[in-house]
């Protein structure tokens, strides 16, 4: 062999040695690769090793398509997806479980249901301080009511809820409001300053007091009974938000919508104390994270829903009547009767009203 041939064979053998070495290296896992491979089964087992949990979420409105309830449903879907279907939350509407709105706080406290949207209306019977959220025109905007809720959260709201057996979902915002409340009537008023003895369904003591001072005959009635009540003449109208009017097709029985802008319904997304304590920490973390997403969406939905719901009402033949500044001033003046009555019921109420006015900059 020539020197050139020897050199060529040597180069080939050297190249083969390098290839064999590289193949051997890639077939042997490095310490980092081994650690990563070991971590993946551990991450999967976080869900695999946790129990199957089924919870009920009692919503407050009457339709799964409602702009708030739809976010409850999406929240439940995200929790289910993140737990590979092991943690299921089923959203129920009022009455589906035989639980009407007024009974929701008790049912949640007892653990009959695990989660619920607790509205100040139904909670006031158990937590009297909730009445401050119903005082007409105490707050003007929805941000005013949110500010008020934040100021009372730790000192008043949480401790009182805990006594019943539930608490706001921890880890982020739990408070939200519906839209401002308006007045839907079967017959048009001669003047908005006089309710002419009309029987009007209300859900709050403050509204009842104010509407009485304006010549009305307000009364309490389950919301689910209002449609038939208006149809049969038991009531002439009601105070509620436009989304609830649309969801229940109240535009079929009421044709005059007065935008009186009373206090919105204040609500908290809550969970039973014992059920929460028994929930695996990994599930708690997911619920808290998805709750934050839910509440951001709820706030955004409120901002856009009023116009769309009024458009639907108009398309169904409802006349929308906006109050003039002078007419609104008459309503606000009559609201003082509700403030005085509520504050006069107890020393605690009086102090709460003073605190609320201070928080909102009312003299």
Summarize pLDDT for 291-342 with one digit per residue, the tens.
Answer: 999 999 998 898 788 889 999 999 999 999 999 999 999 999 999 999 999 9
Q: How confident is the model at residue 77, as a pLDDT?
A: 98
Looking at 3.40.190.170, 3.40.640.10, 3.90.1640.10, 3.30.200.20, the CATH number of the domain 181-264+308-360 comes to 3.40.190.170
- Its pTM stands at 0.76
196-251 pLDDT, tens per residue? 899 999 988 899 999 999 999 999 998 989 999 999 999 999 999 999 999 899 99
Region(s) of the chain under CATH 3.40.190.170: 50-131+139-177+265-307, 181-264+308-360
- Which tokens belong to 244? 């609830």
Helix (H) or strand (E) holding 48: helix 31-48
Q: How confident is the model at residue 343, as a pLDDT?
A: 95
Residue 76 has pLDDT above 60, yes or no: yes
Helix (H) or strand (E) holding 120: helix 120-123
- For residues 318 and 254, what is the distance between their CA atoms, to the nearest angstrom? 7
Was domain 50-131+139-177+265-307 assigned CATH 3.40.190.170?
Answer: yes
137-146 pLDDT, tens per residue? 999 888 899 9
Residue 38 has pLDDT above 60, yes or no: no
Report residue 342: phi and psi, to 5°: -65, -45
**Residue 213 CA: distances (Å) to CA of 92, 128, 210, 236, 322:** 37, 22, 5, 17, 21
Indicate the average pLDDT of the chain: 87
- For residues 78 and 279, what is the distance between their CA atoms, to the nearest angstrom? 17
| CB contact at 8 A, 38 and 95 | no
Residue 26 has pLDDT above 50, yes or no: no
Q: How confident is the model at residue 46, as a pLDDT?
A: 63
| CB contact at 8 A, 201 and 219 | yes
| CB contact at 8 A, 190 and 196 | yes
Q: How confident is the model at residue 7, as a pLDDT?
A: 52
- For residues 279 and 123, what is the distance between their CA atoms, to the nearest angstrom? 25
């Amino acid at each position: 062999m020539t020197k050139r041939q020897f050199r060529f064979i040597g180069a080939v053998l050297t190249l083969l040695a390098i290839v064999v070495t590289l193949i051997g290296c890639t077939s042997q896992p490095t310490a980092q690769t081994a650690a990563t491979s070991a971590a993946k089964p551990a991450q999967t087992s976080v869900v695999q090793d946790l129990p199957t949990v089924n919870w009920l979420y009692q919503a407050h409105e009457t339709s799964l398509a409602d702009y708030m309830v739809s976010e409850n449903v999406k929240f439940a879907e995200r929790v289910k997806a993140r737990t590979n279907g092991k943690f299921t939350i089923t959203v129920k509407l009022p009455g589906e479980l035989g639980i009407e709105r007024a009974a929701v706080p008790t049912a949640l406290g007892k653990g009959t249901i695990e989660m619920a949207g607790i509205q100040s209306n139904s909670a006031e019977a158990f937590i009297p301080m909730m009445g401050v959220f119903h005082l007409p025109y105490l707050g003007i905007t929805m941000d005013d009511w949110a500010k008020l809720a934040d100021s009372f959260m730790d000192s008043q709201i949480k401790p009182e809820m805990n006594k019943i057996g539930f608490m706001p979902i921890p880890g982020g915002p739990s408070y939200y409001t519906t839209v401002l409340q308006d007045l839907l009537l079967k017959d048009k008023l001669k003047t908005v300053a006089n309710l002419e003895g009309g029987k009007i369904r209300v859900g709050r003591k403050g509204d009842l007091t104010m509407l009485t001072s304006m010549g009305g005959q307000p009364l309490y009635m389950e919301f689910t009974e209002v449609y038939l009540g208006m149809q049969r003449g038991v009531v002439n109208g009601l105070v509620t938000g436009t989304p609830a009017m649309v969801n229940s097709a109240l535009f079929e029985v009421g044709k005059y919508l007065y935008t009186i802008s009373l206090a919105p319904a204040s609500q908290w997304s809550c969970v039973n104390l014992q059920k929460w304590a028994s929930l695996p920490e990994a599930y708690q973390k997911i619920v808290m994270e998805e709750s934050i997403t839910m509440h951001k969406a709820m706030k955004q939905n409120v901002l856009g829903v009023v116009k769309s719901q009024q458009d639907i009402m108009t398309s169904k033949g409802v006349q929308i009547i906006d109050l003039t500044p002078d007419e609104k001033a008459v309503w606000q003046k009559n609201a003082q009767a509700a403030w005085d009555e509520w504050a006069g019921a107890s020393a605690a109420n009086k102090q709460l009203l003073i605190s609320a006015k201070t928080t909102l900059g009312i003299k």
